Structure 1
Amino acid sequence: MTGARYWVELFQSQQRLGGGFLLNRRYVLTALHCLQGLTALDDRLDVVLEDGSRVDGQVCRRDKEADLALIMVLGTCDVRVSIPRAGVAHAGDAWHAPYRPARTEVHLRGEVDKGAAGYLCEGGAVIQALQLTAQQLLGDYSGYSGGPVVKGVPDDSDPVVVGILLEQAPDRAAADRASNVLFAATIGEAMRRFDHFEVEHLMEAVHPEGPSPSRGGQLEGRTIDAAAASAELWFQQIDDWAGRRILDPSQIAELKFAVAKTVIERQLGGETA
């Protein structure tokens, strides 16, 4: 994949609301506080892709306590954007933020101080969040909220999204400034908050004789290789359904994303719960 074209900007009419990024070709994840500029009675907005093209969107879910929102891309528009893998970050990992609020703003990058850990966010919920140190000492990082946190350096050819930027820690010596410590909700936290990506009913259809492989911690105790092999089996099954025209082509990428998300959540459940 060339470029981080999965991030988006959100507008209503000509008013810029904030940033976000595509979880798949149908749903955009953003920070709820980025949508404060929405008119009270209208959840419709424009999703502006990295290349400047616009698609219609609508806010479909809000989680006020976790400061997260999910936006659905409307209509039959085919968003032809490469979607990165989702993953988990650990202390010591490098990170960067491909989204920036304007072309005159700097790109953020730095190091993960703390992997997924409980954090009391401003919305009032305790969420699983990454604590990040930014190399860039800006004093105010608010315009970057809603953008993706990507593991590794910007030149990585296979980006892995690990979180969504939400908050900045205040500078304890200067109340009007922010420190260079940021907090990002993990992708696992966002997936738990929204139920749009469940695939258990599909797994039951393929394995009617036994329990669903996505349930009851069935992946607990298995190796990562075994979990990956399980996902590959699902990818093959989805491709088979597509070849037999059981699935619409527009659904394939979304289903594969859902399978990968489910496998990762079950495999890492002990770490992210």
Structure 2
Amino acid sequence: MENWFTVEKISEDTFAISEYKHWEETHCYLIIGEQKCVLIDTGMGISNIKEITDTLTDKPIVAIPTHTHWDHIGGLKEFDEFYLHETEAPWLNGEFPLSLDYIKSLVIEIPFEQPKSFNLENYTIFQGMPKMILKDGDKIDLGNRQLKVIHTPGHSPGHICLYEADREWLYTGDLVYMDKLTAFFPTSDPVAYKQSIDKIRKLEVKKILSSHHKLEIPTSLISEVWEGFSEIEEKGKLHHGGGLFTFENFQIEI
């Protein structure tokens, strides 16, 4: 593993597994329940994330990517069971919208402390069939913990957030984090992105757990992002090619 991953304890039964040696600084979250566990996102596939989860739990793990971009599905190949939102299931069955060459260019973009064991020639985009298709409002029971699926398209059409109502924790994937938020891909939708932010800002949230960069994020960021999108819309720029907009704690590129 060459110390590729960093493990940080969020609580006694929740861990962030992070890839800080790559510019994406992707975070995956191991949610441990009484009966089973969920791994939210699986990273880039540069190193084997299951070797890490095996040290943290011996319970069965279901992997759930917040969406199927390359930096979230790389480790799916290590798990027997994964769930996925219905909109993006075709992407993992021959219809992935980005070329392998383009993905490889992102993999080696610096900063990247490449492990000696990593061979770019062997890098592939995961393809497979989910054990379960997820829809908005579905609930995943882990025993003493429950996650609710919230469909939040915009960054990608099948993007989801996962909400743990008992703790008021929101796992936001790529919808909200402290860096550059993106809706410039051909499969992105800036208008849907704004609508998704409006959807989650109505939740009671005590903790945001995002998929990139800083782990400690103020819950006020959701409202800040909403205001950012609203400002862009007022300028008539909420469309592809609208530009790059800089705010105090984040950027939005559309």
- Relative to the length of structure 1, the TM-score reads 0.25
- Relative to the length of structure 2, the TM-score reads 0.26
Please identify the structure whose Cα radius of gyration is greater: 1
Larger fraction in strand: 1
